[in-house]
Amino acid sequence: MNLPTLILTGLLTGFGFAAEKTDLEGRVDYLATELRKAIDPKRWTITHDSKSIRIESTFELEIRHRVSPTLSAAPPDKTKYRIDLRFAPHLSKEEFLRISRERVERAAISAYGAQTKEAYTDSLRFLQEHPLPRYTVLDRVGKAYSVYFTSTDSVTLSLGPVGLYAEARGVEGIVDSQLWPDTP
């Protein structure tokens, strides 16, 4: 290797002194930057690391429980709205379908037909430990990653006031617009 080629190679690789970001880290950085451009920084904070992005409101919402009249009668708790995006190796179509079928069965057991407390608990544990990705993104070299989406929203809760909840759901829409164009 001649000296000009050696110097150019050294410049491109940083002479091995600085660790270069992986392709996934670069993709996560890019998405976090794009989300920061699209979301009001006075109302939302965005933090990220190499495999996840967290978006959190600066304001609080009231939590109103739907499942229990006793809990609904209590003064509402307050919480910040949070969206977590976790990037993981791509889930194959076969694995996605297998987990999806199992989740449907476990959801039915936990909602309608658990014969024992243990069966109910096992079903809930499975649902928590085996989420399905909401998005697929590609890194700079075309490698696919699954992105798991979780938020403060829940079917057992009602969040308010309505205007703040609508803003939070609007931020979810911004996340969707940034990530769904990548989904093959």
Rg, the chain, Cα only:
21
For residues 97 and 171, membership in a common domain is answered with no
For residues 112 and 143, membership in a common domain is answered with no
Structure tokens, 57: 């409101």
Residue 50: closest CA among 32, 64, 36, 73: 32
Per the domain annotation, does 54 fall within a domain? yes
Task: Give every CB contact of residue 133 below 8 A, 6+ residues apart in sequence.
Answer: 88, 91, 96, 146, 147, 148, 149
Task: Give every CB contact of residue 176 below 8 A, 6+ residues apart in sequence.
Answer: none
- Three-class DSSP category at 18: coil
Q: Which pTM was predicted?
A: 0.75
Q: Position 3: which residue type?
A: L
Q: Which residue has the higher pLDDT, 36 or 183?
A: 36
- Three-class DSSP category at 59: strand
For residues 32 and 86, membership in a common domain is answered with yes
State the pLDDT at residue 14: 41
In percent, the amount of the chain with pLDDT more than 70 equals 78
For residues 66 and 114, membership in a common domain is answered with no
CA distance 176 to 31: 11
For residues 149 and 85, membership in a common domain is answered with yes
Per the domain annotation, does 14 fall within a domain? no
Per the domain annotation, does 154 fall within a domain? yes
Per the domain annotation, does 15 fall within a domain? no
Per the domain annotation, does 81 fall within a domain? yes
State the pLDDT at residue 76: 73
For residues 73 and 25, membership in a common domain is answered with yes
For residues 31 and 103, membership in a common domain is answered with no
Q: Which residue has the higher pLDDT, 180 or 34?
A: 34
For residues 153 and 74, membership in a common domain is answered with yes
For residues 64 and 153, membership in a common domain is answered with yes
Per the domain annotation, does 8 fall within a domain? no
For residues 121 and 35, membership in a common domain is answered with no
Q: What is the pLDDT of residues 36-83, one digit of tens each?
A: 999 999 999 999 999 999 999 999 988 876 555 555 566 778 889 999
**Domain boundaries, position 110:** 92-132
State the pLDDT at residue 49: 94
Looking at the structure of the chain, the number of domains it has is 2
Is the confidence at residue 181, as pLDDT, over 70?
Answer: no
Q: What is the pLDDT of residues 120-147, one digit of tens each?
A: 889 888 988 999 999 988 887 788 999 9
